[in-house]
Amino acid sequence: MRPIVGIDLGTTYSLVGALQAGQPVLFPNAIGERLTPSAVSVGGDGSFLVGAPARARAATHPLVTALAFRRDMGTERTWTLGGRNLRATDLSGMVLAALKADAEAALGESIDEAVLTVPAYFDELQRQATRDAGAIAGLRVERIINEPTAAALAYGLHERSRQMRACVLDLGGGTFDVTVLEIVDGVIEIQATAGDARLGGEDFADALAALVLARLPPVFGTDPVARARVREAAESAKRRLTTETEARVVLPALEAGGRSLDVEERVTRAEFEEACAALVDRVRGPAFRALHDAGVRPESIDEVLLVGGATRMPAIHRLASQLFGRMPLRALPPDEAVAIGAAVQAALKAGDAAVADMIVTDVAPFTLGIASGARMDARAVTGLYSPIIDRGTTIPVSRSERFFTMADDQREIVVDVFQGEHAMCRDNRKLGTLRVTAIPSGPEGSESVDVRFTYDINGILEVETTVTSTGAKHALLIEQVPGRLSTAQVEAARVAMSKLKFHPRELLPNANVIARAEALFVELVGDSRVLLGQALSGFRLSLESQNTDHVNAGRASLLALVDRLDRRADP
């Protein structure tokens, strides 16, 4: 049987791994790193670049580079790259295909199945889009697992004999999740989950970039290349402010609107945290909601686990300490914990004996229901939200509610499916529509329809209706919902991707060092710039020679020079 891999498909970085000899192993990509940037770009020759070389081009070629697209999974937003309009599902499929190739190179055999992770607060459409992305990449995805649940699995792998209640704070590049769980004799019970699907490290970097741009003439804030350069420098400064109290943002010859400016701005950690105060405060709401839903108080939590690269920020660490009255733990590398858990879940699915004694249960992270109406005297009130599955319900679960006609001789009922916690449907997110037809004629309220929601372990919702008087059943048919792909569309996307020109995996190290050198060349001036330009030209000449030894030596030499000259690495 072919191995099943676990993949953490992240907003900023993605990872792939599997359990080997009872231990999770994360596989390196073509340049030897475990973290692969979730980035796609188009090179000068029209070929698609995925990962590190694409990420390096974000500052120099922002109009042909896509980043943070996972946030738009399940929507109709598109990016135009290489003359093609690509959705987040297509772009994620490219990242997954690259990870698949990395896993196959590491394992020495082909891979056709993966367990994928998603933010706990991803809805049904976003989960289906994630599954579609796997199909586009040539992967069968039968199991989707919530990211904080995966992190709990990673932690529980080494704590199976311990009894404890923990809270996982998972702040990644694009999303924030909070999960309260209990570990008892190898059983990991998820008790409550809450989150914010639009809060992550990317927002903190954006806030720092806005702080820098506010100090510059307005013209620099409207130029896409200038903004991209500032954003890239802000991301680097954000990372340095994790360990330093001050960071420089250096941008020589920043150009926009016919103006050129040498930028060197100093940003203190205090200034950065003030700019991000509103973002940090958004962590509180989901944390308190998860505790409330689990029925526990902060002091009842034995361990607070920090997951996700953004939890390295001192402000987040400090807030976690304040909320729970204890120092949080980083028992596992924050960037890798979710991927490790995905590898454990893949082993569980494959029936690996090394994890045979582990069991994990999960809960619905949000309430699911339908639109309904009610009569008040002679007036009808519509758009009311009728929950069928409450958030916090242990999954898998199947529940049914009965609804009645609201008019004489009503022959059809439109079942609008929603996700959310508000009393009115307009304040919740619509997931789809199911039309129930051929209802027998009769007086108002004489006919009824049972609406059954089945929510599986992957967080995928199935809706079925039954006309009680006839037994006629209807399955869910999503109508006009943005981002939802049919089976035919997924297959068409898979075929289309197979025809695209991708940079060969074995040449990605060369593409990566060139992209990094080109991005740094933009930032440098004077002798350093001349030196880098000469080295870059020399490496391009060595590529034309097609002599492997010359290419490898030239790449190593250029990479060493880039590392030495990179001002952004200098705090």
The stretch 520-535 carries a mean pLDDT of 88
- Residue by residue, DSSP assigns 26-89 as EPP-TTS-S-EE-EEEE-TTS-EEESHHHHHTTTT-GGGEEESGGGGTTS--EEEETTEEEEHH
**CA–CA separation, 68 vs 64, rounded Å?**
14
**CA–CA separation, 252 vs 145, rounded Å?**
45
Six token digits for residue 493? 């996307």
Structure confidence at residue 460 (pLDDT): 80
Residue 100: strand, helix, or coil: helix
**CA–CA separation, 269 vs 400, rounded Å?**
52
Structure confidence at residue 114 (pLDDT): 97
The stretch 529-537 carries a mean pLDDT of 92
Is a pLDDT exceeding 70 seen at residue 41? yes
Task: Give the 3-state secondary structure of 533-554.
Answer: HHHHHHHHHHHHHCCHHHHHHH
pLDDT single digits (tens) 364-381: 888 999 999 988 777 888
Structure confidence at residue 480 (pLDDT): 43
Structure confidence at residue 86 (pLDDT): 95
8 Å CB contact between 106 and 27: yes
Structure confidence at residue 569 (pLDDT): 41
8 Å CB contact between 331 and 376: no
Whether a cis peptide bond, with omega within 30° of 0, leads into 396 is: yes
- What are the Cα distances from residue 345, in Å, to 5, 33, 142, 314, 538? 9, 22, 12, 31, 47
Task: Give the 3-state secondary structure of 189-228.
Answer: EEEEEEEECCCCHHHHHHHHHHHHHCCCCCHHHHCHHHHH
Partners of 432 in the β-ladder: 417
Structure confidence at residue 567 (pLDDT): 58
Residue 382: strand, helix, or coil: strand
Six token digits for residue 249? 């943002």
Nearest to 406 by CA among 421, 429, 384, 431: 384
The stretch 316-324 carries a mean pLDDT of 96
**CA–CA separation, 243 vs 87, rounded Å?**
37
Partners of 184 in the β-ladder: 187
The stretch 273-280 carries a mean pLDDT of 97
Nearest to 37 by CA among 80, 99, 79, 90: 99
Structure confidence at residue 481 (pLDDT): 53
Residue 218 pLDDT grade (very low, low, confident, very high; cuts 50, 70, 90)? very high
The stretch 541-565 carries a mean pLDDT of 88
Q: Tell me the helices (H) and strands (E) count for the chain, helix number first.
A: 16, 27
Partners of 368 in the β-ladder: 389, 419
Nearest to 418 by CA among 367, 454, 374, 382: 367
Report the relative pairing of strands 359-363 and 394-395 from DSSP bridges.
Answer: antiparallel
